[in-house]
């Protein structure tokens, strides 16, 4: 009797990859403690719930001062201030800096009331030899408000997009989540991979061998298990199976019930005693048997049915792949065909080398005569050239510098300037670093955060509208997002956008009966502003210009009448949180944020948000994908690059995002 399974039509490697790609290996998401999250992949976006730092703090040792008290001070004519006490890191200030006074302060300490700058200790002298907490201090330099102070939210502001879905959690990201107070995170599940080695000749390591019977140690189980774990899966080893049909069927069915993927090794050849292919045909579906590749021709791909009693959450069947019996062949086939599928199911990046050769995307000047370890980001334009390298440096105290960077360029002490296009070697933070597919810069915005969630591994730097356009002009990012009045001298194309309602955020019920900007000028109200790079700030200044024209006054004079005009907060949500906390009577913000945080809102109008792509990147696939998500960005029927005639089909997705955000709607055209 001969029921031998012959290799008749060997599948091509491409067909084998397609067959494996058709299998469902996807595990269900889960929530894990932060301490167990290293190497896992975020299943959803994590926003900052707090400002980091949560207070204005000194960035160096010295003296906390009122900046205006130092104006005009220099080495020849120092300013003398009364020392009223000291503030140490980890302690609440118990002093107030009044005009003509200062307080000793340590790095990281909370800025005391009244102080708005720090003078480094090296630029000061003690006068009269007083003890700490008394005497006078000579200030030998002048400082401006904010000098040597890290304001609340400078590192990352409450409401900002901290990490997006698909982010692999390395120690860098875990450090950021720790700084945000996160103790558990939603992550993608690790596919459970059952491993079954077959063959009467196999013996588990540690057991006695009988060479006379041709026994050999089972190398494949432990080797493949290590490969599964490295690829991001959870290996599950099952007892060794012989070549008995019933025993093999029992083990494979058990593994299918308990795992997302079942891997076997051995019993895949055309030998009459090999029965595994018959188990698959009888208890599932055999997709292919044999691949035109050497080594590794005898490979199986199929599906195994689960029993009725099995947990139905993973579906009614498990994926199955049979590897060759020879260890070298098994490992070769695993690494070539199986490991990529496990990595994809686990959300893990393809392995990369630890060093990448890149080209500077912008010029960088450096002349301090010291070795510089410059954090950099990478952007692979897939144009046949080396990846673009751009500096990422927000200061040594900023955790997000690490998250936004992919590696470090060591700049030699003798190097004063790195030119655009110059070759540099980037030491990656780890071989698992996955550079972004798309780099965006510009305004921060709630709708944008949701839109970015729909893209594959984007990186977005919320640097403000003005700075975003400048960086786009310099040629590094793919897109810039702007809000409000903007400059036009940049080679870019609008690919879509929306409008958002902006104005003054006030306490719930508007107890001060604020009606507009004039109230901030004419009444004693505390205000919290946005920085000048922000589109909201530019819109506010435009309204202030119009008000100044109506009053026949200078805008700067009106701005000086607003208590807190120069007190800015980093992100769109920060002024709103200041109002909600009672630290301000009004703040610059969006209706969406005011509604979400339970505040009142005084509308000042609608502001156009526009997504612009660099003209030479408009055909890049990630840019086209963004344009498609935007639905072409125009309601007038015009097609934009990357969207084409199918743009209308994508519009409901953006519409659904905007529908959930109070005060949001589509732009009527691509440009403000």
To the nearest whole number, what is the mean pLDDT of the chain? 85
Residue 309 has pLDDT above 80, yes or no: no
**pLDDT tens track for 409-438:** 888 878 889 999 999 999 887 777 888 999
Q: How far apart are alpha carbons 176 and 181 in whole angstroms? A: 9
Q: How confident is the model at residue 524 (pLDDT cuts 50, 70, 90)?
A: very high
Residue 342 has pLDDT above 70, yes or no: yes
Q: How confident is the model at residue 163 (pLDDT cuts 50, 70, 90)?
A: very high
31-45, 76-90, 214-228, 517-531: the lowest-pLDDT one: 214-228
* Per-residue pLDDT at 308: 65
Helix/strand/coil (H/E/C) assignment for every residue in 90-144? CCCCCCECCCCEEEEECCCCECCECCCEEEEHHHEEEECCCCCCCCEEEECCCCC
Percent of the chain with pLDDT over 90: 55
* Per-residue pLDDT at 315: 59
Q: How far apart are alpha carbons 358 and 410 in whole angstroms? A: 13
State the average pLDDT over residues 355-382. 85
DSSP sequence for 574-590 = HHHHHHHTTS-SEEEEE
Residues 429, 404 contacting (CB under 8 angstroms)? no
State the average pLDDT over residues 223-249. 84
Q: Which of 42-46, 320-324, 473-477, 600-604 tops mean pLDDT?
A: 600-604
409-423, 546-560, 631-645: the lowest-pLDDT one: 631-645
Residues 642, 612 contacting (CB under 8 angstroms)? no
Closest to 300 (Cα-Cα) out of 20, 8, 21, 24: 20
* Per-residue pLDDT at 129: 56
Q: How confident is the model at residue 499 (pLDDT cuts 50, 70, 90)?
A: very high
Q: How far apart are alpha carbons 348 and 25 in whole angstroms? A: 13
Residues 427, 410 contacting (CB under 8 angstroms)? yes
State the average pLDDT over residues 345-351. 83
* Per-residue pLDDT at 654: 85
Residue 634 has pLDDT above 70, yes or no: no
Rounded to 10 degrees, the C-alpha dihedral 55/59/60/65 comes to: -60
Q: Return phi, psi of residue 606, to 5°.
A: -110, 145
18-22, 165-169, 514-518, 568-572: the lowest-pLDDT one: 568-572
Residue 406 has pLDDT above 90, yes or no: no
State the average pLDDT over residues 138-153. 94
**pLDDT tens track for 281-306:** 888 898 988 888 776 778 899 999 98
Q: How far apart are alpha carbons 127 and 439 in whole angstroms? A: 53
State the average pLDDT over residues 391-406. 65
Closest to 466 (Cα-Cα) out of 480, 448, 450, 455: 480
* Per-residue pLDDT at 496: 92
Percent of the chain with pLDDT over 70: 85
Strands (E), 349-507: 355-360, 364-365, 372-379, 388-391, 407-411, 417-418, 423-428, 438-442, 458-461, 479-483, 492-506
Neighbour count for residue 184 (Cβ, 10 Å): 13
Q: How confident is the model at residue 525 (pLDDT cuts 50, 70, 90)?
A: very high
**pLDDT tens track for 574-632:** 999 999 999 999 999 999 999 999 999 999 999 999 999 999 999 999 999 999 988 85
Domains of the chain in start order, with CATH, are 13-27+189-346 (3.40.980.10), 30-52+155-187 (3.90.105.10), 57-150 (2.170.190.11), 355-435 (2.40.340.10), 442-666 (3.40.190.290)
Residue 362 has pLDDT above 50, yes or no: yes
- DSSP assigned state of 568: B
* Per-residue pLDDT at 646: 44
């Amino acid at each position: 009797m001969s029921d031998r399974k012959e290799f008749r039509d060997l599948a091509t490697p491409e067909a084998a990859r397609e067959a494996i790609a058709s299998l469902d290996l996807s595990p269900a998401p889960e929530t894990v403690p932060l301490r167990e999250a290293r190497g896992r992949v975020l299943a959803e976006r994590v926003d900052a719930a707090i400002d980091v730092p949560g207070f204005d703090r000194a960035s160096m040792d010295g003296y906390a001062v009122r900046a205006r008290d130092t104006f005009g001070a220099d080495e020849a004519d120092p300013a003398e201030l009364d020392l009223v006490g000291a503030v140490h890191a980890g302690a609440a200030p118990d002093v107030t800096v009044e005009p003509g006074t200062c307080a000793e302060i340590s790095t990281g300490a909370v800025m005391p009331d009244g102080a708005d700058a720090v003078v480094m200790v090296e630029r000061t002298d003690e006068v009269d030899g007083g003890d700490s907490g008394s005497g006078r201090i000579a200030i030998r330099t002048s400082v401006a408000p904010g000098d040597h102070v890290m304001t609340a939210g400078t590192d990352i502001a409450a409401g900002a997009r901290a990490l997006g879905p698909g982010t692999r959690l390395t120690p860098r990201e875990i450090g950021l989540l720790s700084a945000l107070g996160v103790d558990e995170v939603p992550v993608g599940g690790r596919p459970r991979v059952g491993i079954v080695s077959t063959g009467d000749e196999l013996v588990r390591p540690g057991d006695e061998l009988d060479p006379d019977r041709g026994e050999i140690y089972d190398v494949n189980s432990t080797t493949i298990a290590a490969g599964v774990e490295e690829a991001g899966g959870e290996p599950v080893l099952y007892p060794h199976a012989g070549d008995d049909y019933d025993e093999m069927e029992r083990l494979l069915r058990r593994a299918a019930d308990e795992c997302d993927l079942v891997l076997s090794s051995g019993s895949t050849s055309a030998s009459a005693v090999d029965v595994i292919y018959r188990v698959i045909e009888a208890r599932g579906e055999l997709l292919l048997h044999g691949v035109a590749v050497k080594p590794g021709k005898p490979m199986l791909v199929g599906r195994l049915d689960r029993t009725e009693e099995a947990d139905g959450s993973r579906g009614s069947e498990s994926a199955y792949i049979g590897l060759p019996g020879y260890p070298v062949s098994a490992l070769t086939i695993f690494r070539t065909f199986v490991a990529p599928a496990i990595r994809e199911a686990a959300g893990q990046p393809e392995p990369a080398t630890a060093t990448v050769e890149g080209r500077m995307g912008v010029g960088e000047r450096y002349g301090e005569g010291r070795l510089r370890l410059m954090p950099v980001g990478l952007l692979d334009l897939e144009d046949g050239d080396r990846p673009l390298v751009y500096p990422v440096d927000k200061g040594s105290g900023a955790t997000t510098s690490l998250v936004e960077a992919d590696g470090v360029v060591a700049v030699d002490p003798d190097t004063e300037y790195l030119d655009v296009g110059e070759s540099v070697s980037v030491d990656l933070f780890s071989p698992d670093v996955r550079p972004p597919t798309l780099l965006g810069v510009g305004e921060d915005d709630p709708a944008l955060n949701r839109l970015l969630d729909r893209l594959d591994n984007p990186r977005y730097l919320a640097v403000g509208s003005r700075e975003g356009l400048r960086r786009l002009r310099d040629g590094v990012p793919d897109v810039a997002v702007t809000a409000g009045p903007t400059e036009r001298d940049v080679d870019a194309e609008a690919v879509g956008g929306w409008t958002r309602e902006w104005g003054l955020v006030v306490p719930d019920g508007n107890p001060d009966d604020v009606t507009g900007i004039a109230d901030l000028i004419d009444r004693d109200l505390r205000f919290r502003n946005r920085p000048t790079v922000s589109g909201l700030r530019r819109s506010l200044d435009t309204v202030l210009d119009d008000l100044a024209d109506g009053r026949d006054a200078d805008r700067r004079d009106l701005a000086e009448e607003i208590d807190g005009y120069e007190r800015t907060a980093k992100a769109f949500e920060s002024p709103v949180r200041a109002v909600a906390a009672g630290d301000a009577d009004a703040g610059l913000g969006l209706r969406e944020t005011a509604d979400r945080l339970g505040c009142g809102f005084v509308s000042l109008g609608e502001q156009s948000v526009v997504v612009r792509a660099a003209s030479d990147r408009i055909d890049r696939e990630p840019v086209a994908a963004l344009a498609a998500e935007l639905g072409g960005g125009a309601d007038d029927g015009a097609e934009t690059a990357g969207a084409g005639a199918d743009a209308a089909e994508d519009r409901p997705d953006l519409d659904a995002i905007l529908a959930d955000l109070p005060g949001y709607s589509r732009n009527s055209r691509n440009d403000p």
